A and B are shown apart, each in its own frame.
Chain A
Amino acid sequence: SNDLTQPPAVSVSPGQTATITCSGDNLGTKFASWYQQKAGQSPVLLIYQDNQRPSGIPERFSGSNSGNTATLTITGTQALDEADYYCQAWDSNAAYVFGTGTQVTVL
């Protein structure tokens, strides 16, 4: 079972801001990561340690984490950002858990 809850779908117009939330008990006390997965491909790391971007990830992707919610923000969304997005964190049961996933549609 997933302990991190995400909205199933988010729609955004090109150039606008998309906000994806990830909710879990005391999530703000853990490091959250975010992944992008396009159809038929492996996930790609976008954000680690709440708000750090790996080399090569565009600046329009940013993250934050506080309280029970981690947030991924895509500023100036582009058509190529259409994908599924997943959060991930370390669970108190000594295991990694992933969020339920959010499908982002760029209309």
Chain B
Amino acid sequence: HVQLQQSAPGLVKTSQTLSLTCVIFRDSVSNNTAAWNWIRQSPSRGLEWLGRTYFRSRWNNDYSISLKSRITITPDTSKNHLSLHLDSVTPEDTAVYYCARETLGAFDVWGHGTLITVSS
């Protein structure tokens, strides 16, 4: 079955860039029937969709409007993974970050989650 392995938890300083990777096992980031998403969860904001990347003849990205100026999601076909970069973080970005596969409009495979704490 498909598995998603996320990078380790960590501390990011305020105003710096949060970077995470999600390695895909037993599927392909280029799968043209799936999309690869980042979702985060915090007590204050609940579950929040951040954005996605997907391949349909060419690479496409969709991002949450509230994060569009700060977020980049990038696929890497050679490593079969996707990356998340979130610029200019604040303590409000403290959360558990998940990568998830999307098929048929739902998230059917989730990574184990990575706790990111933003602090000065």
Contact = CB atoms under 8 A, between A and B. Distances in A.
A101 B106 contact: no
Chain B interface size, under 10 / 10 to 19 / 20 to 34 / 35 or more: 10 to 19
Contact of B104 (A42, A44, A48, A94): A48
Contacts, number: 52
B48 interface: yes
A83 B49 CA distance: 21
A71 interface: no
B108 A54 contact: yes
Interface stretch (A17-25, A73-81, A85-93): A85-93
25 contacts: A31-B105, A42-B98, A43-B47, A43-B98, A43-B110, A45-B106, A45-B108, A48-B104, A48-B105, A48-B108, A49-B106, A54-B108, A86-B46, A88-B106, A90-B105, A93-B65, A94-B65, A95-B49, A95-B64, A95-B65, A96-B49, A97-B49, A98-B49, A100-B46, A101-B46
